[in-house]
Amino acid sequence: MTVAAIQIDYSHEAGEMSADRLLRRIVGWSAVIYGGVGVLQLALHIALARGWVSRPPYMSWSLSAGWGILLLAAHTLTECAYLLAGALLLRRSPVGIPVLRWAAVVGVPLMIAQVIHSMFEFQNYASYWSKPATAAVEALGTFNGQWVPLLIAALTFRPAGKRLA
């Protein structure tokens, strides 16, 4: 007759729970900081474009009309989603995970749409993409800006049977 091994409470599982809490805090605070910085940056851009704050005399800040304002609104919602998702994760709410994934999935094509829109609207910006080397520099810089949200979202995918929240 064989006897099954008895699971000891303080064995392997207790260490994993501590790692899960740490991972949830890291992802949560990263999302809060990323979303908060994005919302602050957008608020400053609007304040500069409206003339609510002072700016250098030879510098121009503007808000696009039409598609530009729609893209700005969608970008603002995405940044707010990061902020909300991070706060939800810190409060141990499982709803934060799909919100965070939604923000990352929406954020990447939205960033591509904003780059394309900017190329059509601003001739100077379009010229940055006109030669292979400058286009590569711009593409790499744009792609590099997506590492943080993609990493935050990737960290929410856990092995089968494991929970983050």
Q: What is the pLDDT of residues 98-155, one digit of tens each?
A: 898 899 888 888 888 888 888 888 788 788 888 888 888 888 888 887 888 888 877 7
- Of 4-8, 12-16, 41-45, 148-152, where does mean pLDDT reach its minimum? 12-16
**b/e sequence 34-73, b meaning 16+ C-beta within 10 Å:** bbbebbeebeeeeebeeeeeeeeeeeeeeebeeebeebbe
Rounded percentage of the chain residues whose pLDDT exceeds 70: 85
Is residue 164 scored above 80 in pLDDT? no
Split at pLDDT 50, 70, 90, the class of 16 is: very low
Question: Which helix (DSSP H) or strand (DSSP E) does residue 160 occupy?
Answer: none
CA atoms in the 13 A half-sphere facing the CB of 112: 5
Split at pLDDT 50, 70, 90, the class of 12 is: very low
Structure tokens at 86: 């991070």
CB 121 within 8 A of CB 64: yes
Residues in Cβ contact with 96 at an 8 Å cutoff, skipping those fewer than 6 apart: 28, 31, 84, 85, 86, 87, 88, 89, 165
- Can you tell me the distance from the alpha carbon of 72 to that of 79, in angstroms, rounded to the nearest whole number? 11
Whole-number Cα distances in Å, 128 to 53, 116, 134, 144: 28, 12, 6, 17
